[in-house]
């Protein structure tokens, strides 16, 4: 019997493989070590391989595709309903093998190495920013124990810490002064590393025509443009703009029954990082045009009826749909089409 469909449960060192033939009869259930997976499929006839979109999945998908196989990635929550018994590696692999053949499963597009490297810069930058915030909070908390209170904000910390270290009259113990100097030096290094990563993003932005094109849309800057390209590429995996905004969690969550439609707040599904960037960009547009918005325009009337936060999310939703059109159709942003948006 020849295996036609394969489900692979990825892990760190040992992978579980579940294969079936054209009649959906089990051909093989086997554990394979990480360094043996490529050679295992190298001499096999082309087949459909399903995997969960998790750590390492995109690498294995590209490698198996290069061997002639058809590889599809799925979100783990879409695989879970097909787990028949208790959760274990064998049951997960069987569930993946079954889910990959279902007609209504939504698959995850396989990212290229360039996309993954671009997103790694974004992830590293966000990690450094979180570390900066944690370090600043620690410094402010320790100084409060000695009666020194620094104003809130990163700028205030970088301004006051050198002055505190140089002030010999603040009665800080020598031991704590040495610790504070080390913590401040660590904070400076974190800022320098963050700036280095931002320079890498700027260089990529300058060389990427797609990023520069979508950055012409108000509310889309360098960070958002590069993150969009790194995450969804040309947007061809989405049928329309609403699918993209829904995937980003910018559409209302629905809880309807008995013919009664109930729409709640936004679903907040999908990529939280992209959603955050789009909403912050929309909020920046509102802030920049707050003195020129008219109540007769779409955005101005929405702010008048609701509030700025609701308007920011609504504008982010609209921007996501415009982005899809710009990505898939190769169009430039045409401001005259949105003449009633900011009027």
Contact 53, 88 (CB under 8 A): no
User: For 272-285, how does the pLDDT look when each residue is reduced to its tens digit (9 = 90+)?
Assistant: 999 999 999 999 99
- In this structure, are residues 59 and 65 in contact, taking their beta carbons and an 8 Å threshold? no
CB 8 within 8 A of CB 32: no
pLDDT one-digit tens code per residue, 308-338: 999 999 999 999 999 999 999 888 888 776 6
> What are the strands of the beta sheet with 5-9, ordered from one edge?
26-33, 14-20, 5-9, 48-52, 70-74, 107-108
pTM of the shown model: 0.88
Q: Which residue has the higher pLDDT, 331 or 247?
A: 247
Determine the average pLDDT of the residues in 154-160.
93
Query: How many CB atoms neighbour CB 205 within 10 A?
Result: 18
- Compute CA distances 322 → 109, 212, 241, whole Å: 21, 15, 7
Q: Which pLDDT score is estimated for 3?
A: 72
Q: Which has the minimum average pLDDT: 136-140, 318-322, 337-341?
A: 337-341
What pLDDT sits at residue 342? 62
pLDDT at position 160 over 90: yes
88-133 pLDDT, tens per residue?
Answer: 999 999 999 999 999 888 899 999 999 999 999 999 999 999 999 9
Instruction: Tell me the per-residue pLDDT of 165-214, one tens digit each, with 9 for 90 and over.
Output: 998 888 889 999 999 999 999 999 999 999 999 999 999 999 999 999 99
Percentage of residues in the chain having pLDDT higher than 90: 71
């Amino acid at each position: 019997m020849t295996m036609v469909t394969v489900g692979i449960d990825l892990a760190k060192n040992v992978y579980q493989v579940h294969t079936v033939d054209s009649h959906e009869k089990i051909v093989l259930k086997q554990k394979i070590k990480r360094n043996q997976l490529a050679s295992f499929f190298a001499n096999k006839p082309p087949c459909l391989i399903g995997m969960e979109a998790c750590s390492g999945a995109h690498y294995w998908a590209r490698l198996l595709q290069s061997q002639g196989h058809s590889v599809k990635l799925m979100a783990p929550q879409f695989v879970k309903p097909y787990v028949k018994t208790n959760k274990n590696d064998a049951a997960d692999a069987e569930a993946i093998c079954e889910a990959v053949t279902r007609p209504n499963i939504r698959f995850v597009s396989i990212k290229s190495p360039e996309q993954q490297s671009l997103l790694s810069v974004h992830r590293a930058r966000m990690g450094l920013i979180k570390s900066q915030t944690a370090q600043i909070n620690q410094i402010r908390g320790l100084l409060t124990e000695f009666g020194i209170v620094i104003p809130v904000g990163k700028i205030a910390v970088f301004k006051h810490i050198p002055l505190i270290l140089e002030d010999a009259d603040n009665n800080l113990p020598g031991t704590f002064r040495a610790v504070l100097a080390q913590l401040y030096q660590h904070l400076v290094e974190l800022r320098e590393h963050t700036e280095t990563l931002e320079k890498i993003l700027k260089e990529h932005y300058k060389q990427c025509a797609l990023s520069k094109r979508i950055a012409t849309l108000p509310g889309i800057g360098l960070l958002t443009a590069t993150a969009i390209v790194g995450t969804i590429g040309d947007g061809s995996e989405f049928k329309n703009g609403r699918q993209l905004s829904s995937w980003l969690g910018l559409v209302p969550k629905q809880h309807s029954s008995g013919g009664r439609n109930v729409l709640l707040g936004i679903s907040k599904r999908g990529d939280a990082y992209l959603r955050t960037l789009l909403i912050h960009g929309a909020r920046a547009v509102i802030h920049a045009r707050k003195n020129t918005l008219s109540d007769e325009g779409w955005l101005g009337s929405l702010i008048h009826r609701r509030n700025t936060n609701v308007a920011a999310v609504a504008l982010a939703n609209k921007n996501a749909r415009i982005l899809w059109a710009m990505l898939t159709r190769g169009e430039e942003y045409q401001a005259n089409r949105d003449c009633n948006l900011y009027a």
